[in-house]
Structure 1
């Protein structure tokens, strides 16, 4: 399914095989994950890509096991999540829109709200 023609080079699965946080073929990996997950956030179900047109959710490829905890860039360790779910998973704003003024303030409030809800859910259980 994802071979040489997709632009993904398996030697970059290992984060120590390249400089920087993301491998040179990151864009191809990200797009392959979106396609595999049908352009749908695996947390909340928001859709993007060919399903949602211009009004679709901003998608991110998220590492299930973080690089800090020994995770790799292998497609099996990546999942599609929307911007808001990704912020909630990490507990802080993520992505390239991080520094966009007022929009950033709204995102921070949403993240704080999601984190608070997660904590409440755990306490209630």
Structure 2
């Protein structure tokens, strides 16, 4: 009986550790760059559920991860909400009037984009 209880407790502990480690990988925190043949510049920075936009009509945004949305505020824009997609270090979102890919600094996608557009 003790062995069964020990195994159940071990299984619960393992599942909780796996669950917590998966949430760490879902963090959007970091700097995101707009990389193209014409530019390589910081577009926005995310910390927690808030972001600061470097250039554009909006100045800030808040993130709703459940709905995959950003609520844009400040600057010359009226508050609006836009959908985003995140995968492997790339956020695809329309924060400037055009949907673009933004690359999380130091991600593999960021490094590949720098190579693709001949930046060092």
Please indicate the TM-score interval, normalised by the length of the shorter structure.
under 0.3
Higher-helix-fraction structure: 1
Higher-strand-fraction structure: 2
Larger radius of gyration: 2
TM-score by length of 1: 0.25
